[in-house]
């Protein structure tokens, strides 16, 4: 995991390994089929979820091993849940379930206006006790940050503490990361890759196009 001089202090990105670069190359390629897009973005998402879990606090936990010896280990400090920002965030749910068996998952439906890029909240269904949980917020794309802001507003209104949110995304734009830090400096962001900029339609450049369309449509 690395921070960089170009990243805000609350943002972390996956290390730029050959493997990650190869996976990113496949999902960015406009000639990649839908089946391959799903397979390879799922692999990146699994890496992200594994890294995101490293940002949840742990407490000391003593257990006894099969040899009868005590072992001073750790366990997660509190309850955890996922919240996916639909539609695209749903693509990240299965990786979270693979890592945290029977994890609770809430959903927030936010859509960007195709013309203006403005994000609108349509629906939210969250675990009743979400205010007691750490939240892994799931959305593969962070562009302007508008969609994430709508979703985070809902979480905060339900009593979730900002510093108990870890936002996971595959690809982010510097503009979105900056906005997130200015509005929510205590929330952590774990991103797969930081791209150059946004274009005039608020798409990430070089980007990969519309993640939701490529994964689900
Ligand atoms: C995409 C993406 C994010 C959002 C990012 O969703 O999944 O939610 O755009 O852009 P922003 O940071 O500028 O808000 P979109 O609204 O296209 O819906 P989808 O998930 O149905 O594809
Ligand atoms: N949402 C996407 O799916 N792609 C972008 O480039 C920006 C927002």
The model's pLDDT over 195-211, given as tens digits with 9 standing for 90+, comes to 999 999 999 999 999 99
The model's pLDDT over 108-147, given as tens digits with 9 standing for 90+, comes to 999 988 888 889 999 999 999 999 999 999 999 999 999 9
Query: For residues 72 and 64, what is the distance between their CA atoms, to the nearest angstrom?
Result: 9
Atom 4, ligand 2: residue with shortest CA distance: 210
Q: Buried b vs exposed e over 45-61: b needs ≥16 C-beta within 10 Å?
A: bbbbbebbbeebeeeee
**What's the token pair of residue 39?**
């397979």
Could you state, in order of their start, the residue ranges of all structural domains in the chain?
11-216
The model's pLDDT over 181-194, given as tens digits with 9 standing for 90+, comes to 999 999 999 999 99
Can you tell me which atom of ligand 2 is nearest the CA of 204?
6
**What's the token pair of residue 150?**
């709508």
Q: Are 87 and 93 in contact (CB under 8 A)?
A: no
Verify whether residue 213 is a known catalytic residue.
Answer: yes
Fold of 11-216: Rossmann fold (3.40.50)
Helices 146-157 and 174-183 meet at what angle, rounded to 10? 20
Tokens 């503009």 belong to which residue?
A: 175
Q: Are strands 119-125 and 104-112 parallel, antiparallel or unpaired?
A: antiparallel
175 lines ligand 1 (CB under 6 A): no
The model's pLDDT over 59-86, given as tens digits with 9 standing for 90+, comes to 999 999 999 999 999 999 999 999 999 9
């Amino acid at each position: 995991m690395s921070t960089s001089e170009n990243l805000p202090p609350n943002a972390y990105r996956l290390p730029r390994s050959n493997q990650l670069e190869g996976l990113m190359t496949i999902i960015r390629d406009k000639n990649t089929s839908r089946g391959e897009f799903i397979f390879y973005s799922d692999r990146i998402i699994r890496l992200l979820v594994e890294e995101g879990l490293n940002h949840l606090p742990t407490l000391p936990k003593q257990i006894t091993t099969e040899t009868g010896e005590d072992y001073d280990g750790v366990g997660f400090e509190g309850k955890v849940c996922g919240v996916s920002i639909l539609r695209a965030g749903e693509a990240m749910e299965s990786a979270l379930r693979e890592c945290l068996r029977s994890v609770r998952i809430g959903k927030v439906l936010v859509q960007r206006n195709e013309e203006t890029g403005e994000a609108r909240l349509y629906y939210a269904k969250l675990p009743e006790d979400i205010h007691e949980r750490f939240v892994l917020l799931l959305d593969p794309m962070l562009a302007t940050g508008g969609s994430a802001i709508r979703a985070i507003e809902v979480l905060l209104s339900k009593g979730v503490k900002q510093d108990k949110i870890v936002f996971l995304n595959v690809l982010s734009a510097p503009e979105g990361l900056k906005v997130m830090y200015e509005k929510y400096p205590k929330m952590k962001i774990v991103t797969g890759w930081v791209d150059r900029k946004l274009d005039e339609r608020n798409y990430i450049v070089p980007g990969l196009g519309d993640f939701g369309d490529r994964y689900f449509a």
